[in-house]
Amino acid sequence: MDIEQIKRLRELTGVGITDAKNALVEADGDFDKALEAMRKKGLTKAEKRGEREARAGIITTYNHDNRIGVLVELNCETDFVARTDEFVELAKDVAMHIAASSPVYVSVEEVPADVREAKAAEFTEKAKGEGKPENMLDQIVEGMLKKYFAEQCLMDQPFVKNPDQTVADFVKDGIARLGENIVVRRFARIAIGEV
């Protein structure tokens, strides 16, 4: 059993020495297999942590070439975690993503009903105009809405530093590593020349 592997597993997943050692034993010394198992465990715990209240946190900024500015509020459960370098870095990464990807809403739950209804009407007309079958319209429009709002909502967007995961998955990784619920509360994005 390699002590360096145990240390590395701890750093990447935030688990204790015993858990890291046990994961490596269960994976027959295969580091990647152990890491995957620990990530799954951590994400399961992260899902449970998502129900806990996040009232502490930070407001951070990101400025891109003095042309795009972002202000984001990222919350966690305790001031202790809010002051860690890892939490601050996570907030900065979220702010940088917002600068790059221009989301409009934090999540799909934030989309106003009237905006959703207007888009649904627009997509219904479009689908009818393309001669889509009447009995399939609801499903087609629902698919179009899901795709459209996934592009508009921060948490559903592919994360700019790793497009294989969404921003929501990136935040869940942070929850798993830091051991607290983390919530992107709100953001503002300002770009030169945009209204």
**Residue labelled with tokens 């870095």:** 89
Single pTM value for the model = 0.70
Mean pLDDT of 107-129: 90
Q: Is 153 exposed, middle or buried (0-12, 13-18, 19+ CB in 10 A)?
A: buried
The pLDDT score that the predictor gives to residue 75 is 94
pLDDT tens sequence across 152-166? 999 999 999 999 999
Domains and CATH numbers, the chain: 3-49 (1.10.8.10), 56-106+153-191 (3.30.479.20), 112-152 (1.10.286)
Amino acid at 142: E
pLDDT tens sequence across 61-109? 999 999 999 999 999 999 999 999 999 999 999 999 999 999 999 998 8
Task: For residues 122 and 105, give the distance between their C-alpha atoms in angstroms, rounded to a whole number.
Answer: 20
DSSP 25-71: HHTTT-HHHHHHHHHHHHHHHHHHHTTS---EEEEEEEEETTTEEEE
Task: For residues 37 and 28, give the distance between their C-alpha atoms in angstroms, rounded to a whole number.
Answer: 12
Adjacent-strand bridge partners of 60:
72
